[in-house]
Amino acid sequence: MQHRREVDESRLPSFFLKKHTLMKLKNLLFVFCLALLAGCQKDPDTESAPARDTDRVEGVIRMKLDRETAEALNVTRTRSGRVLTGNISFDELCKRYEVTGMERLFADNGCAERTRKAGLDLWYVIRFKGSAEQVAEDFGEIAGVNHVEIPRKITKVGDVGRRSGTPWRKLMALPKAVPANYPFNDPLFAEQWPLYNDGSVSEEAVAGADINVIPAWKKTAGRSDVIVAVLDEGVESPPPDLAANMWSGIGKNFCSGYNEDITWGQGHGTHVAGTIAAVNNNDVGISGMAGGTGSGDGVKIMTCQIFHPTDGRYDASSNATADAIKYAADNGAVICQNSWGYAAGSMSLDQWINQDRAVKEAIDYFIQYAGMSPDGQTQTGPMAGGVVIFAAGNENSGQPGYPAAYEPCISVAAVSCTYEAAWYTNYGPTVDICAPGGGDAADFSRPIHYNEGYNLSTLPTDLQNGMTFVYTNFRGEVETHTIDYVSETLGYGYMQGTSMACPHVSGVAALIVSQFGAPGFTNEQLKEKLFSTARDIDSYQGPIYNGRGTYAGKIGKLVDAGAALDSGEVPPVSDQPTITPATGQNDTFTLGASERKTLQYTLAGYTEWRLDDPSGKIAKSIDGNVVTLTIDASQYAAGSYTAELLAMNGTKTAKRTIAYTVSKGDNPTGISMDFYPNPCTDVLNILPNYSGESTIRIRNSMGTEVMNITLGLINEEPVKLDVSGLASGTYLVQVTYNGIQITRTIVKR
């Protein structure tokens, strides 16, 4: 489903991190002063900040290899600590740059087959001494290295703080009545206006400016087999409001070497998790959107810690975010909640893909394989495929910020308790939907204070107002963050930001899966229900406070839980199978005798498929519902061939006929040969299908010729080449006969 348009600001080459918070505004006059100063600055919708080298993580790069090169690697470590790979070129650079570690970026987590299909097993992380830029350049020049990138620092889209210094009332000082139709006994529900807004939260609040969750709860309040991965700070699970709804495996700390216990720092991740899945009907605290009915039926939170509480406001590198996304998919999560990213306007789509391709591929993997079997072919979870949801960001910018702006993701803007865009929210064509984020609307004249419009949720029980966190930020500056958002009831507190809007959409997504999840239910069906039932609130949108138009049409529609769960049954899956070839692909073609052709077909509405191939030489594989066929003409004698691809569903069948000819033009005799074993050790066998004098040349990965011999080959009689004297690595073998060349890549171990 194409739900939004990408904006590629290719003229913006710079790259910098999204700030964790906006400056706290001490009084209304100060707010107006800042607004006035902003009017004298460059327009943030057209200008970008200069790139900072500090965004890079020094001492580490990641690279993606081609299949042959990756499978030939044999990474070992000597007693002295030197890293060896068996590849001459890699080993030379490992020595030059004192490489201390080289390992795969992504663990297979018991899903090796689909990991390989997605190509995530080809990613490696290299740790070294020296300049990351120079190391990346040198490794990128090695044959077999397809892509190299320097990991970047990622920031939370955090709480943006108070707009004024006016004291806020204590949480329990002015208790509010619970609505008559509220089905649970959680005492703080009346403080959760994003779930139920009767207009009493502040003088400016508008009744109904909420996500309409109570009608949804009449159908379901959650389902325990629905898992939501929260990529954030760690989530504190001991509080009664969260413990029962934590995933059985809890999760993993992806920071600092991956071997530490989960920690929670300033409470950002715990606040997000509580919004989604605080336990309902337990006579304690708040209500979670998909927290169940108190009978063990709430959705489960998987905590994936990517931020370290004492190491600045970012993870060690984007390596952690990529690995965490894949981990979540491999361990059963179908919804991926993310309140982090890069600053709006800091890069174009192409720049992001070039700098963060590993993260992009992890997102694509989650969308395709979440809820699927380890081989990626069968639905095993409540939904086939996953959804990845991101906070849009807090810079009040109309430029795209990634990964949120990546089209397959869902980007969430924030609104206040007045239906209006929140003063800090990002906006624009790459925003998909909006949800309550807390705080004032864009109209500065109407400040709203903490529990008069901020979002209440769970916090770590040991957090108290006045606590300070001192750390060094990504610019090398020492910062102090003082906690001032905890209620008098420890374990709860107020925050605002698109970070707080995002989990409301994740919570509604969890309710949709809880209601409709079943064999055949897909992530695209979830998105259709989410977007088609959201409410149009453009009539409430005022001007963007910096004078660049209005928010109307720029923050998406308001998510509506009740309408989404009342949207009818899931449309039945068609029983007529289809086979769709790749765009521009022709099923009839001619190949030169040494050529190779790859065909791709998308299958739909099928229960089984097969390839009828009389030649027995077509290589076939399936990734999700995409079948790939590879025809290597060097394996054929000259002539014409046909094959049939079939998709079946009961008695109904779809069929594609593939007709191809192997030409005699560049190979008059139709010669071919086998090279085995590959990888080899001491002996390489060459088995020809012809007889005649042939020249055999072998070159290493640097292009240097290491063997050149002429032999009389005999049809179907193998020739044994002694390669014991060659170093381990990848080699190019070229056999020339009567002007015809056959080339293969082999691996020597």
The model's confidence at residue 24, banded by pLDDT at 50, 70 and 90, is very low
At 203, the amino acid letter reads: E
Dist CA 192 CA 501 (whole Å): 13
pLDDT of residue 158: 55
What is the chain's mean pLDDT, rounded?
82
More confident call, 42 vs 468: 468
- pLDDT above 70: percentage of residues in the chain: 83
Grouping H, G, I as helix, E, B as strand and the rest as coil, residue 76 is strand
**Mean pLDDT of the 445-455 span:** 66
Identity (one letter) of the amino acid at 547? G
pLDDT reported for residue 402:
93
Predicted pLDDT at 13 = 27
Residue 749 has a pLDDT of 84
Write the pLDDT tens digit of every residue in 639-664: 778 899 999 887 788 889 898 888 75
- Give just the sign of the alpha carbon dihedral 440, 441, 443, 446: negative
- Round to whole Å and give the CA distance between 199 and 202: 7
pLDDT at 34 over 80: no
Residue 194 tokens, joined:
């994003």
Measured CA to CA, the distance from residue 65 to residue 120 in angstroms comes to: 10
Residue 289 confidence (pLDDT): 97
Ranking 34-48, 147-161, 198-212, 521-535 by mean pLDDT, the lowest is 34-48
Cα 366 from Cα 325, distance rounded (Å): 7
The predicted structure's pLDDT at residue 91: 94
Report the pLDDT value the prediction gives residue 668, as an integer from 0 to 100.
47
Window from 162-176, 243-257, 437-451, 516-530 with minimum mean pLDDT: 162-176
pLDDT digits (tens, 9 = 90+) for 576-629: 788 888 876 778 887 877 788 889 998 888 888 999 998 899 999 998 888 999
pTM, full prediction: 0.72
Q: Are 453 and 431 in contact (CB under 8 A)?
A: no
User: Which pLDDT value is given to residue 84?
Assistant: 93
pLDDT of residue 471: 64
Q: How far apart are CA 500 and CA 455, in angstroms?
A: 7
| pLDDT, position 135 | 93
Residue 3 has pLDDT above 60, yes or no: no
Q: What is the pLDDT of residue 421?
A: 94
Q: Which residues pair with 673 in a beta bridge?
A: 688
pLDDT score of 382 more than 50: yes
pLDDT of residue 451: 56
| 62 contacts 123 by C-beta, under 8 angstroms | yes
Q: What would the two tokens of residue 144 be? A: 């077999």
DSSP H helical ranges for 488-560: 498-516, 523-532
Give me the sign of the Cα torsion angle 577, 583, 589, 594: negative
pLDDT for 280 equals 96
At 43 the pLDDT is: 37
Q: Provide the pLDDT for residue 336.
A: 98
**Contact assessment for residue 272 and residue 389, using Cβ atoms and an 8 Å cutoff:** no
pLDDT digits (tens, 9 = 90+) for 477-501: 677 778 878 887 778 988 999 999 9
Helix axis angle for 498-516 and 268-277, nearest 10°, is 30
CB neighbours of residue 465 within 10 Å: 13
Q: How confident is the model at residue 326 (pLDDT cuts 50, 70, 90)?
A: very high
Where residue 575 falls among pLDDT bands split at 50, 70, 90?
A: low
Whole-number Å distance between alpha carbons of 403 and 397? 15
pLDDT at 111: 94
Q: Give the count of beta carbons closer than 10 Å to the beta carbon of residue 46.
A: 13
Confidence tier at 126 by pLDDT (50, 70, 90): very high
The arithmetic mean of pLDDT across residues 562-586, rounded, is 77
Write down the pLDDT at residue 181.
82
Burial of 571 (0-12, 13-18, 19+ CB in 10 A): exposed
φ/ψ (deg, to 5) at 507: -65, -40
Among residues of the chain, what percentage have pLDDT more than 90?
46
Average pLDDT over residues 405-427: 94
